[in-house]
Amino acid sequence: MLRFQTTAVHAGREDFATLCVHAPPLDLSTTYPVSDLGVGTASFDALVGGAADAANPIYARLHNPTVARAENAIAALEGTQACVAYGSGMAALTAVLLARRQHGGHVLVVRPLYGTADHLLASGLCGLEAEFVDAGQIAARRRADTTLVVIETPANPTLDLVDIRAVVAAAGDVPVLVDSTFATPVLQQPAALGATYVLHSATKFLGGHGDVIAGVVCCDEAHAAPLRTVRAATGALLHPLAAYLLHRGLPTLALRVERAQANARVLAQRLAEHPAVSRVDYPGLGKVRNAHLVGTQMCGPGTLMSFEMRAGHAAAAAVMAAVQVMTPAVSLGSVDTLIQHPAGLTHRVVDDATRAATGITPGLLRLSVGIEDVEDLWDDLAQALARAEARCPADDAAGRRRTLSVAAGA
């Protein structure tokens, strides 16, 4: 059996020698000729019914060979039978929720998680009742109509860890979905720990270069078939060019994660010692919830962290305005370092009370560390922190009142 880095380079390329190519073929067809109606009809029925492939792709909303190559490669990295790709991470989550509706109407959800995912679940848009619980409450709150348990670990944006094995045990025969976007298959493989569905916003690390939006769900074939049926009906198939770019990013995935993680360890420690910072959420510092899972469930602390500015919202905004090497933008997992404000951006759609309860404060910034030279990153962050300190001194009572006032209106 090939090791991870070798698999990342070669997965989805097994037929290259037969095809006499060295780069994945890109199939942009929207439709495929049907010269034999019997074969075409049988192919249509198979694909609409959730089959992974058929003799004729028929129509690109049902199947695309370039997308299938990327799916096969990602399934190999997660150690699952199948992977189903969608036009975004949110489309992938929506497909799982719609597929599970026929099995029950109740979903248990552990916070925190990505803001739009939280909003989708809380809103009931998919026709499911979402109950938000602590991980330790899952067994007690499970009902006869509970159809899914949803967790994200590491959690967005606080980096709290959730014990996947414990959640799977508490869920019993209820499928567990793990959003493993922050960890990537380099650091964590939830299916091996019992998770039914492993979800990634593939826009992030799997693509890795900020030029593709995609979502994937990795699972066994029995659970993949309904996901393909939903995808065919809703038109959520990943575009083949996006699949091509996604597949192209996989060979460097481990290298990117390892380099960015090394940078993150340094930045987290320096931030923890900085007087302008009141808190750093990073699994490698041992202070996030269930940090002991680093080394067992996760083989490393990852590349993301959040840190809270002592002077609050105004200071956080000042840091974002002052960075010059880092990019002040949402998203994560790219080769460049991104910094953003969860309360004002990614988690803006989450209500104030929930944000407060999950530690998403007005002064919190999330940092997705890239592969640049770590000293350049620290120099940039240090000068931004210095500017924020000068503008918003943490020991200025009037400044704190102004910060609170701005945060309340944000």
Which one of 69, 100, 111, 114 is the catalytic residue? Answer: 114
The type of residue at 386 is: A
CA-closest candidate to residue 323, choices 283, 278, 367: 367
The single-letter DSSP state of residue 364 is E
Token pair, residue 129, equals: 């009742």
CA-closest candidate to residue 126, choices 150, 143, 110: 150
CA-closest candidate to residue 203, choices 232, 151, 245: 245
| Distance between CA atoms of residues 101 and 106, nearest Å | 9
Report CA 410 to chain centroid distance, whole Å. Answer: 26
Question: How are the residues of the chain apportioned to helix, strand and coil, as percentages rounded to the nearest 5?
Answer: 45, 15, 40
Give the Cα-Cα-Cα angle 371, 151, 345 (nearest 5 degrees): 55
Phi, psi of 235 (to 5 degrees): 70, 35
| Distance between CA atoms of residues 342 and 359, nearest Å | 11
Phi, psi of 396 (to 5 degrees): -90, 105
Which one of 142, 204, 259, 355 is the catalytic residue? Answer: 204
Q: Give the pairing of strands 106-110 and 129-133.
A: parallel
| Distance between CA atoms of residues 129 and 245, nearest Å | 36
Which one of 179, 259, 281, 289 is the catalytic residue? Answer: 179
Which one of 27, 32, 61, 348 is the catalytic residue? Answer: 61
Judge contact between 354 and 342, C-beta under 8 A: no
The answer to whether residue 380 is catalytic is no
| Distance between CA atoms of residues 312 and 280, nearest Å | 14
The answer to whether residue 61 is catalytic is yes
The answer to whether residue 111 is catalytic is no
The answer to whether residue 114 is catalytic is yes
Active site residues: 61, 114, 179, 204
